[in-house]
Amino acid sequence: MTKTLHFLRFLTLLIFTAICCIWLASCTPQPSSEAVSLNFASGPQAREALAELAKEYRQEKPNITINYTFSGATALQERIEKKEPFDIILLSSKKSMDELDKKGLLLSETRTNLVGAQMVLVVPADSDLAIADFKDLTSDRLKTVAMGTERLGAGQYTKEILSNLGIWSQVQSKAVWANVEVREILKAVETKEADAGIVFLPEAKLSQKVKVVAIAPSNSYTPIITRAAVLKNSQHPLAAKELLKFLASDKALPIFKKHGFIALPSSSAS
C-alpha cells in the first residue's frame, strides 16, 4: 500500500512538472517566423557589401526580406524627413546622420558605428597619366576632376581633404560635379568625362573600368565612419534591430572588409 502511495505521488509530481514545463514554454517569447520586409536606405558605396550580407543573413532569418534604396546622403535624408517608410539607414555622412538624429527621426539608442572607409583617387583603368598623389591634381596634365558636391558624404570629405592639402581652389576649378550620388563620380571617370575622380574606396572597388592611384593621407580628413540606425517610424523595429545587430557582428566584418571597408578602432566616437 505504501509503495503504491509513493508511486502515485511520484506520478502526480511528474505530471505536474510536465504541465509546468509546457506552460512556461508557451509563455516564453519565441522567434517570429512571420514574413517581414525591411526597407533599408544606404549610400551606394555599400551596395555590394550589403548584397552579400543580405544573402548571409537570410540563412539565419529566411523570413526577412531586405529592400535596398541607394542614394546620396542628402537625398536620403530628405526622403526620410518626408516620412518615406524606411526601417534602417546606413550613411558615411556624419552631418546627415546627426541632422536626422537631432530631428528625432532615429531611434538614437540604435545608432551604431559599423566600419570605416578611405578616400581614394581614381583614373580610367587604361589611363597613362603619371598620377600618384592627391597633390598631382593641381598638375596641368589633369584638365578635369570628378568629385561630389557637399550634398554627398564623399563631397564633404573631398573638400576637407583638398582644403587641408591647400589645393581646394585649384582643384575646384577643374571640377566635374556629382550632386545625387557618388556613382556619378565613377561614371565620369569610366567614360573619361573626367581625367580623375575622388571616391570612397568601397565605391572604387565596384568598377573594373577605373584604377586606384592614390589613397588620401589619413591626417587630411576626419576619420570616415559608416553608421547605421533604426528609423523611429520603422514598421518593424524589432526585426530592424536584429538586422543591425548582425551588421555590427564579427560575422559581418570580413564581408565589409572584402568590399573595401576597414575595421574601426574600439574607441571610435559616434
* Span 110-121, pLDDT tens digits: 999 999 999 999
Q: Which fold has domain 119-215?
A: D-Maltodextrin-Binding Protein; domain 2 (3.40.190)
Q: Evaluate whether 36-116+225-258 and 119-215 have a shared fold.
A: yes
Q: Rounded to whole angstroms, how far apart are CA atoms 164 and 167?
A: 8
In this prediction, residue 48 has a pLDDT band, given cuts at 50, 70 and 90, of: very high
> Whole-prediction pTM value?
0.78
- CB burial string 58-79: b at 16+ within 10 A, e below: eeebeebebebebbbbbbbbeb
In this prediction, residue 25 has a pLDDT band, given cuts at 50, 70 and 90, of: very low
Element (H, E) at 211: strand 210-215
54-87 pLDDT, tens digit per residue, is: 999 999 999 999 999 999 888 999 999 999 999 9
Q: Rounded to whole angstroms, how far apart are CA atoms 97 and 255?
A: 23
CA angle 119, 125, 131 (to 5 degrees): 60
pLDDT of amino acid 182: 84
Which CATH architecture is the domain 36-116+225-258 placed in? 3-Layer(aba) Sandwich (3.40)
115-144 pLDDT, tens digit per residue, is: 999 999 999 999 999 899 999 999 999 999
Examine the pLDDT at 268 and tell me if it is beyond 80: no
Highest mean pLDDT among 27-31, 115-119, 149-153, 176-180: 115-119
Q: Which residues, 6+ apart, have CB-to-CB distance to 10 below 8 Å? A: none
Q: Which residues, 6+ apart, have CB-to-CB distance to 61 below 8 Å? A: 242, 243
Around 197, how many Cα atoms within 13 Å sit in the side-chain half-sphere?
33
231: which DSSP letter? B
The distance of Cα 250 from the centroid of its chain, to the nearest Å, equals 15
In this prediction, residue 3 has a pLDDT band, given cuts at 50, 70 and 90, of: low
Domain residue ranges of the chain, discontinuous segments joined by + = 36-116+225-258, 119-215
